[in-house]
Structure formats: C-alpha cells, structure tokens
Amino acid sequence: MRMVDVISKKRNGEELTKQEINFVIEGYTNGTIPDYQMSALAMAIYFKDMTTNERVHLTMAMVESGDQIDLSAIEGIKVDKHSTGGVGDTTTLILAPLVASVGVPVAKMSGRGLGHTGGTIDKLESIKGFEVELDGNTFSTLVNKNKIAVVGQSGNLTPADKKLYGLRDVTATVNSIPLIASSIMSKKIASGADAIVLDVKMGSGAFMEDIEGARELAQAMVQIGNGAGRNTIAVISDMNQPLGFAIGNALEVKEAIDTLRGEGPADLHELCLTLGSQMVYLAGKAQTIEEAREQLEAAIKSGAAIEKFKTFIASQGGDASVVDNPSELPTASYTIEVEAKEDGYISEIVANEIGIAASILGAGRTTKDSEIDLAVGLILNKKVGDKVTKGESLVTIHSNYESVSDVIEKIYQSYKIRQKVVETNPLVYDIIQE
Ligand code: URA
Ligand code: CA
C-alpha cells in the first residue's frame, strides 16, 4: 500500500477502508509516513469528510496506537464523562462522588492539562494530603470498595492522536468534525470506558458557536461510540457564560462541596443532575432517566453524596475535614471587587476572556511545567440575565498579587452589559442518543 494512493482516494471523496486507515495510523505513529503526507491527508479529510465507518476505524486505529487501560478488575459498567472545553467546569469534581453515591463505579483517569484553570487532578491537590498517584491494584480495589477513585494520567495513551493533534494545530485542520470527534473518542475508549456521556459545549466559549455545529459534533461522537460498542449519549449545553460562580482550583473545590450539599449555583446543580442521570442510566442503575434523576436528588438531600466525597478524599490520603471546614483550603492574600461601571443587565460573559483573567492570576498553566497557584481565581457575583447597578460588584478577584489591573481589564472585556432586560439561554439545548 502507498500513502500517496490513500491521499488521492480521499482527495477524490472516496471512502477509505479499515486496512487503509490502519496503514495510515500505524505508519504515522511509527514514523514511516512523514508529516507532509499526513498533512495532505488531514486537509483532504477536512474538505471531503469521512463516513461513520471511516470515523470508527480512525478512532479505533488511534486507540490501538498505544496503551489501553484495562478496567476489567472493576465490577459493573464503567461510565466516563467528557466535556468539550468550557471555563471553570467543576462538573467532574461533583459528578464523580454524586454518581458513586448511588452505586455507579467511577474509575476516573484525569489530566492536569493546560488551560485557564487546572484539571481535576490539580483541583483535588488543593486538598491537603490528597494522593493522585495510585498503582493499578490500589485503584481497582478502591473503586470496588468505595465506587470511586481518581488517578493521574499515566501510560502512553493514543500516541497517534497526540502526534496528529500537534500536526493539525499547525496545518489549519483542527476544526474538522471527523478529526475532532475521533480525537476525543479515541482518548475516552483507550481510558477503558464501557459507556460515555459527552457534554458538548455550545456558545462563545466553546468549539461550536451554534446549535447546528454542536449537534453535528455531538452526533459524530455518539455514532463513533456506539459504532465502537460503547453506549454513548451527548448533552449539548450552554457556554455563553462560565458554569457556576467559581473559576480557580480551591474555589471550585469549595463550589463542588456546596453543590454536593444541594447549596450550589443553580446552573451547575442542574447540569450535574442532567449529566449524572445519563451516567446512572447508562450504568444500568436505573430503568429510566427520570428514575436516575430521582436517585441523585435523593443522594444530595440525604447527605449520601457529600459523605461519598469525604470517603473518597480520605481513602486517597486527603484531609476530609475540609468538607466541613472549607476555610482550610488554600486562600489568597487579597480579595478585590470589580465594580460595574454602569446600570443594566448582563447579556454575556465571554468565557474565554474570563478564563484568561483567571490564568493571569496563576490559576492555570501556560506551559506544561509551570506551577499553578491553587488559591487564586474569580467568583462571579453576577451572571447572564442579572440586573446590575453602577458600583455593584461583578466579580471578586482572589489574588496573591496586590496589583491586578490587567485582570480587571479582562473582566470588563468579558462582561457585556445592556440596557434592556436580557432573556437567558437554556442551559441544555439537546440530548443526542444516535
Ligand atoms: N480536543 C481534542 O482532544 N481533540 C480535538 O481534536 C479537539 C479538541
Ligand atoms: Ca465553576
């Protein structure tokens, strides 16, 4: 087989076979296919698209390019959740103990990652003593016993995706539905998930800015998942403002604690119940979505959810007393209020700009090796639809620097204020099952 023939076949809009896709991915991973040929193929895919069969073959070829996590020692159906981007997304921290508290096994592998705030692993490390490096045996024992454990990423998962993603980044081929969908799904499948719940964000802070694009991406991922034998559902949710109030690592842990007690922000609470009920349903712990939702609501109300969070922290060496005393979490030296310059209604909070503001404070990483300041971040005092009067606080900055003029500037750029009453967007636009 010759790569040039595969490229011209795709350029002509024909469907590639499983053998051809495997040839490409194996060759590209081991270096026998050079970047320039892979670039040409990525561009051909960008213009000519891929059929569902091709997308499944591409995903599975990337899964097989590296290590695959074996979760077979863990009892039950392992459901994983993935959010496509978003700023200040605390859902994993809430969903993991929440669904575990109704008996769904959560065997979560999580990254640190680059971003405006840290990954789930960084957030958990704001809890004193919390250990994110567990050997495989301890990990599966903990999940079987408590239904929950979270471990830092290890192993060489989907090297083909790493290499291809890097190439796409510099060849203007990132924004291709078959390539995005196979990239995301390959990582979920390689991490050992039996079933997958996707949270596809839509809006100014997301990959997809409109409902058509979001629906197309969601459908692509659901079809790949189902085609690969993993029951998959996608929720399309709003990202025209950050979720919840908190953006920052320790601040989000505090917000997760509030939400697990039923005292969190309404949007975060609602999205966690929506995603959580899909997870419980896919795990076979409820006959219907409604029944799943009732179980989760009951777990919050009875205190089972927050108790599960304590068990989870303690079983990984962390100091679970922070749950009852969140003031023990790292705190910043200064709090600074950002006041509204005019009266009106909040019409949008550009998530990306707010994310940059948090990252300037040190809440996120700019390079793989940079240090995160776990204490710093932002609390949004006003959200879309809220009325605001001049001088009221829009945002509270938690900072370890006294001077934050550049952060304040970003916050003003992010907050759009209008004179008319603003209608809020729905939180959940659609749920895609096939
Ligand atoms: N996230 C991924 O992991 N891959 C993509 O291609 C896009 C977003
Ligand atoms: Ca948040």
Give per-residue pLDDT as tens, 42-95: 999 999 999 999 999 999 999 999 999 999 999 999 999 999 877 767 899 999
CA 357 to chain centre: 19
pLDDT at position 366 is 76
Nearest alpha carbon, ligand 1 atom 3: 184
Ligand 1 centroid, distance to 13 Cα (angstroms): 24
**Pocket of ligand 1 from Cβ distances under 6 Å:** 165, 174, 179-180, 183-184
Report the SS3 class of residue 347: strand
Nearest alpha carbon, ligand 1 atom 2: 184
pLDDT at position 113 is 67
Q: Is the pLDDT of residue 205 over 70?
A: no
Q: Which residue has the tokens 């454990």?
A: 149
Ligand 2 centroid, distance to 249 Cα (angstroms): 9
Q: Going along 209-300, which residue ranges are E strands?
A: 231-238, 246-248
Q: Which residue has the tokens 């050997």?
A: 135
Mean pLDDT, rounded, of the chain:
94
Non-local CB neighbours of 154 within 8 Å, separated by 6+ positions: 133
Q: Is the pLDDT of residue 206 over 90?
A: no
Ligand 2 centroid, distance to 243 Cα (angstroms): 5
* 121, 111 Cβ separation under 8 angstroms: yes
* CA 199/CA 197 separation, integer angstroms: 7
pTM, rounded to two decimals? 0.94
Ligand that comes closest to the CA of residue 271: 2
| CA distances in angstroms from 422 to 99, 315, 411, 413, 416, listed in the order given | 34, 46, 19, 18, 11
Confidence of residue 291 (pLDDT cuts 50, 70, 90): very high
Q: Is the pLDDT of residue 176 over 80?
A: yes
Tell me the per-residue pLDDT of 370-413, one tens digit each, with 9 for 90 and over: 889 999 999 999 999 999 999 999 999 999 999 999 999 999 99
Would you name the residues annotated as active-site residues? Answer: 82, 161, 168, 183, 187
* CA 309/CA 304 separation, integer angstroms: 9
Nearest alpha carbon, ligand 1 atom 6: 180
